[in-house]
């Protein structure tokens, strides 16, 4: 290995180690995802389930591969 490449590699490795040590000793404050990430995920899953549950149970959709011959217009209610 060339001396210049070896020196550059050790310099990069040393700076990475220095950064890791500096960040390890710093007090880490919580981010939005640390505080609320699980609740946002669960809320989104509940909303997704509720909306699709409503669509599947209350929506008048003829579930099948082809709607030809199955979809008929409803009479207009006055």
Q: Residues with Cβ < 8 Å from 62, sequence gap 6 or more?
A: 70, 71
Q: Is residue 78 part of a domain?
A: no
Q: How high does pLDDT run on average in the chain?
A: 78
Task: Answer yes or no: are the C-beta atoms of 64 and 70 closer than 8 Å.
Answer: yes
Q: Is residue 30 part of a domain?
A: yes
Domain total of the chain: 1
Q: Is residue 25 part of a domain?
A: yes
Range of the domain at 38: 1-59
Q: What is this structure's pTM?
A: 0.43
Q: Is residue 29 part of a domain?
A: yes
By percentage, how much of the chain surpasses pLDDT 90?
A: 23
């Amino acid at each position: 290995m060339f001396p210049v490449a070896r020196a550059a590699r050790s310099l990069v490795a040393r700076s990475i180690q220095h950064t890791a040590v500096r960040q390890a000793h710093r007090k880490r404050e919580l981010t939005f995802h640390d505080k609320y990430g699980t609740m946002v995920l669960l809320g989104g899953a509940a909303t997704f389930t509720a909306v699709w549950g409503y669509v599947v149970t209350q929506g008048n959709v003829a579930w099948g591969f082809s709607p030809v011959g199955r979809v008929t217009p409803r009479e207009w209610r006055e």
